[in-house]
Amino acid sequence: MTDDANADADMADAGVEAQAKPILEPEEIEALVASVAPGETVEALFATLPPLKQPETIEDFSFESAGGDGPARYPLFVNLQERMAEALKEQWSDTFNRDVTVTFQSMNQVPYSDVIDTEEPQVFFAYSAEGFGRMMLSFDLSLIVAHVDAMLGGNGEVYGEDIIDLSPVEKSLSERIAQSLEMHLEKVWKPVTILDFVLFKIDTDPQFLSVASAHDACFSMQFEIQLNEDVKGMFALHYPRTFLEPMLDNLRSTMSDEPTSVDQEWEQRLQVALNDVPITMRLEMGQCEMNVGQFLSLSSGDYLPLKVSESEPSMLWVDDMPMFQAQAGSQDGMLAAELIHKIHGGAS
């Protein structure tokens, strides 16, 4: 083979090796991939997917249109406030000696700043409950003025067109109105939890009540109170969300006055089973106190000063619960107890 032929053969072998060897080394490929931005990587991945079917029409989305976590999502809360309005209707009907109408108007979740930003003259009753914080009730000023007039024996009328504040007498009697509202609030909330409402302040200027921070969310429910053809106004309950937070899970449930169905056969079987459960009863004749030294010195023949008259009834206990007052005696040569009457809350 000539020299030229050998050279051509060597060049051909080098070309084959060049085609078999990768253009980039693995380290070079890894460095190149690492340099690609995450966004570009995602776009590259989506580019490999088939196109997604798009809706024909797309509406603008806002968080307000998504239906916030307002009072409507808590049926029991709504039920309790409606009962509060019903209790108010009954009391005011008695005060005015005529049928007072209370009509539900609206419920929503609003910032506290909107609650106190009102142009209508109103009276605000702020209450605090230990462990929960503060809440507030508001009435149009004309309603409170009319209520005070009815309390004083009037017809529940409002004198004057530009009433912007309460008179000293109206302020004093408003405290009595506040006490009745406090009673209704505690009674309404009792099925959920025991709340001890305490009047914090009565004011016509809500800026100084400090019920919540300006941007705190409040559950607010508004009702219209119709006293007569000429006098009507708004009544509202405002609960900061922080006040309700410990109870929100319970307030998601519903409350129904409808009687629930009862499985009579199961109830009878349960009663029969309970009738066979053994209980231990004891008759407590009396008690006495002594120190350790006196106790250690006791011996046969000593008497214990029970300080109970022989004719005084004794207490009959079931476990740790007093059930009956009983008179100790004997029957057929054995100690016996004659039941006198049942202790309140005991067995029937």
Q: Is 110 within 8 Å of 215 (Cβ atoms)?
A: no
User: Are the C-beta atoms of 105 and 222 separated by less than 8 Å?
Assistant: yes
N-term to C-term CA, the chain: 126
What are the structure tokens assigned to 64, written together?
Answer: 């307000």
**Closest residue by Cα to residue 212 from 200, 197, 194:** 200
**Among candidates 173, 186, 164, 171, which has minimal Cα distance to 95?**
173
What pLDDT was estimated at residue 67? Answer: 46
Instruction: Tell me if residue 89 falls in helix, strand or coil.
Output: helix
Q: Going by C-beta distance under 8 Å and a sequence separation of 6 or more, which residues neighbour residue 49?
A: none
The token pair at 24 is 């980039």
Q: Which pLDDT does position 291 carry in this prediction?
A: 87
Mean pLDDT by 10 residues, the chain (348 residues): 56 53 66 62 65 69 53 90 92 89 92 88 93 93 90 77 79 91 93 92 87 91 89 92 90 61 75 83 82 88 79 80 82 84 60
Closest CA to 100 of 91, 110, 111, 113: 91
Backbone phi, psi, residue 293, to 5°: -60, -45
The β-bridge partners of 123 are: 139
With beta carbons less than 8 A apart as the criterion, state whether 100 and 93 touch.
yes
Query: By C-alpha distance, which of 291, 7, 231 is closest to 101?
Result: 231
Q: What local confidence, expressed as pLDDT, does residue 134 receive?
A: 94
Structure tokens at 51: 């196109």
Rounded to 5°, angle at Cα 127 from 126 and 133: 115
Helix (H) or strand (E) holding 321: strand 321-331
Measured on CA atoms in the order 247, 253, 259, 260, is the torsion positive or negative?
Answer: negative
Order the strands of the 133-140 sheet from edge to edge.
101-111, 217-226, 232-240, 133-140, 122-129, 197-203
Q: Where do runs of H (alpha helix) occur along 190-284?
A: 241-244, 248-251, 264-275
| Domains of the chain: residue spans and CATH | 71-251 (3.40.1550.10), 278-342 (2.30.330.10)
Helix residue ranges, H only, the chain: 3-20, 26-34, 38-47, 75-96, 112-116, 141-151, 168-189, 241-244, 248-251, 264-275, 292-296
Taken as a whole, the chain contains a residue count of 348
